[in-house]
Amino acid sequence: MNLKQSVEQKVKASKSASRVLSKASTETKNRALLYMASAIKTKANLIIKANKKDILKAKKLSKAMIDRLTLDKKRINEMADSICAVAKLKDPCGVIDKMWKRRNGLVIGKLRIPIGVIGIIYESRPNVTSDCASLCIKSGNAVILKGGKESINSNLAIYKLLREGLKKAKVPEDSIQMIDSIDRKAVSYLLKLDEYIDLIIPRGGESLIKMVAKESSIPVIKHYKGVCHTYVDCDADLNKALKIVVNAKTQRPGVCNAMETLLVDKKIAKEFLAKAVKKLISLGVEIRGCEKTKKLVKGIKKAKESDWYEEFLDLILSVKIVDNIDDAIVHITKYGSSHSDAIVTEDYDKSLKFLKEVDSTCVYSNASTRFTDGYQFGFGAEIGISTDKIHARGPMALDELTIYKYIIFGNGQVRK
């Protein structure tokens, strides 16, 4: 069997498994999740052994990459705990969103159901394997996992244990599949199987996501990057603004919801930047300012045009002085990535204007953009973040892994 056939065979098996899984009770799905967690916990040694192989191969990678790759007893226990936490979440399926009666007596209901078969294409961190698998199982979806080649041994070890859990709970093992070929073509084959796969969620860097979006004939939900802004208005509480700006930039600079550009109203720019830049520099942040900013703050770099589009994912911040809120919104519309943007102001009308007019997935008034996250939103989980315009936006969790069908109760009605 060649690679194409082997990918297709797995995907077809997923489709069959999804038909059984979609009908499984909440109890059965939870039982499967607990067995999956238990297999991971009790056979952690198998994962550690496989992980060592990956690390040995990874010698050429950066220290940060190796750290992301490494699994120890503690991290493996956390993986298992996450699966147990998913088991405790509310089952999103079977809920009837609404139900109404027509004049002819037909009763129409909108019933939440699993999407079907979901493909996850991801990079490096092996815990994505168990995180995504557990969310898909809980929401009744079969999942096809395709991880990066650098963590292939770890992923496979985790995958096998997850399937042990499914088997023990009498849920079809094929509900979790893994494409284990490191041949780049495997992904291309996968992305054309729109007859069997209903949704692709890529998780990783911009280039991976762009490749997936370009090649896929299956619907993709994605976000390319997070060029997040904070606009400090002239009517801001500047102490609040300082706290928010410092948090949004420095609390965890390497993630998509961290701030990349600070926009400051010219009327308070001198006062605010004096404090803010000092504080940010003391925390190791490199500032790249517009012309006006450079005049107010000595010794900083000038921002290039390309900097305004940049997701630094690092302790670097572009700073621009704007005329007013409209000017700020124009900047965000032009350079932003529709991810997360914030205004800091005590002015009611401007707060509402910003929330209305900024066309981003998550728009904040007086809070740090760092809250764009499934856990922080109270969803109890996160399978990814979407900046697309259909199906789901922002943090995606269990609800976003479902869709609806209409169920119609009649009593002999016919159309006139």
Interface contacts to a second copy, rule CB under 8 A: 19, 22-23, 100, 102, 106, 108, 111, 113, 115-116, 198-199, 213-214, 217, 219, 221, 237, 240, 243-244, 246-248, 251-252, 333, 351, 355-357, 359-368, 370-372, 376-378, 388-391, 393-394, 403-415
Neighbours of 195 (CB within 10 A): 11
Give the C-alpha separation, 375 to 382, whole Å: 7
Closest approach, Cβ 44 to a second copy, in A, equals: 29
Give the C-alpha separation, 213 to 386, whole Å: 13
Nearest residue (CB) to a second copy, 53 versus 279: 279
Closest approach, Cβ 410 to a second copy, in A, equals: 3
Nearest residue (CB) to a second copy, 213 versus 315: 213
The helix/strand/coil state of 357 is helix
Nearest residue (CB) to a second copy, 99 versus 274: 99
The helix/strand/coil state of 300 is coil
Closest to 96 (Cα-Cα) out of 415, 412, 409, 413? 409
Bridge pairing between strands 199-203 and 340-344: unpaired
The helix/strand/coil state of 132 is helix
Closest approach, Cβ 233 to a second copy, in A, equals: 14
Closest approach, Cβ 337 to a second copy, in A, equals: 12
Give the C-alpha separation, 256 to 268, whole Å: 28
Neighbours of 268 (CB within 10 A): 17
Residue 149 has what DSSP assignment?
G
Nearest residue (CB) to a second copy, 223 versus 294: 223
Token pair listed for 15: 């489709």
Nearest residue (CB) to a second copy, 301 versus 391: 391
340 - beta bridge partners? 362
Nearest residue (CB) to a second copy, 112 versus 163: 112
Nearest residue (CB) to a second copy, 59 versus 100: 100
Q: Which amino acid belongs to residue 9?
A: Q
Closest approach, Cβ 404 to a second copy, in A, equals: 6
Closest approach, Cβ 53 to a second copy, in A, equals: 36
Closest approach, Cβ 246 to a second copy, in A, equals: 8
Token pair listed for 366: 């007086």
Closest approach, Cβ 258 to a second copy, in A, equals: 10
62 Cβ neighbours under 8 A, 6+ residues apart? none
Nearest residue (CB) to a second copy, 5 versus 217: 217
Q: How many residues does the chain have?
A: 416
Give the C-alpha separation, 142 to 218, whole Å: 15
Nearest residue (CB) to a second copy, 172 versus 289: 172
Neighbours of 73 (CB within 10 A): 12
Closest approach, Cβ 117 to a second copy, in A, equals: 9
Give the C-alpha separation, 30 to 91, whole Å: 9
